[in-house]
Structure formats: structure tokens, C-alpha cells
Amino acid sequence: MITLSEMQLSEIIAGARCGLVERLLTERRDDLELLTPVQVCGLLNVNQKTLDTLKDGPPRVTIVAGSVIRYRACDVASYIKRRRDA
């Protein structure tokens, strides 16, 4: 049986947590990367008003109680692929 002190246990847990977060950020980078509406407009070659009215456009991510709008890069890429394949 191995006995660990509270400090040793805390260090092991903190190290594991850091490793997990780093791995998630690396593996799921596209899911986490956020684009501004201006960037999305440039990628889709549309103006802001058109982007705002797209019914089947990429889903929005709302930050800070609705005052900041962003789009996940992977959602924009999926939208472009769907439109291209249609």
C-alpha cells in the first residue's frame, strides 16, 4: 500500500488536471477556436446583415450575457462544407 501526504496527492491531481486540459486543448482546438462575426463574414463572403439573417447559418456562441457574439471555427467549416456539397 502506498501512502501519500495531502500535498503529494494535491500535486498529483494538479499535474493530471494540467495534462488533461493541455490534451483537450490540443485535440479539440477546432472546437474551441472562436471567430468574430467580421472573420466569418470574410470567410463566407457576405456582409454582417446577411450573416445575421442566415436561417441555416453557423450557430452563434454568445459570451458575456449576450453582448459578445462568436462562431466556433468547426461550425463555420461544417457550414461551408454543407453549402459546397449541396
Each residue's pLDDT tens digit, 18-33: 787 777 767 777 667 8
pTM, rounded to two decimals: 0.64
Nearest to 70 by CA among 43, 33, 44, 42: 33
Is the dihedral angle over the CA atoms 58, 74, 77, 43 positive or is it negative?
A: positive
Same-domain check for residues 78 and 46: yes
Exposure on the CB side of residue 64, measured as CA atoms within 13 A: 4
Residues 13 and 39 reside in one and the same domain:
no
Q: Is residue 5 domain-shared with residue 27, that is, in the same domain?
A: yes
Helix (H, G, I), strand (E, B) or coil at 63: strand
Domain count, the chain: 2
Judge if 23 and 38 occupy the same domain: no
Range of the domain at 3: 1-31
Cell of 1: 500500500
Residue type present at position 66:
G
Query: First-to-last CA distance in the chain?
Result: 61
Could you tell me what percent of the chain has a pLDDT over 90?
Answer: 43
At 51-76, the pLDDT tens digits run 999 989 999 988 887 789 999 998 99
User: Are 17 and 47 contained in the same domain?
Assistant: no
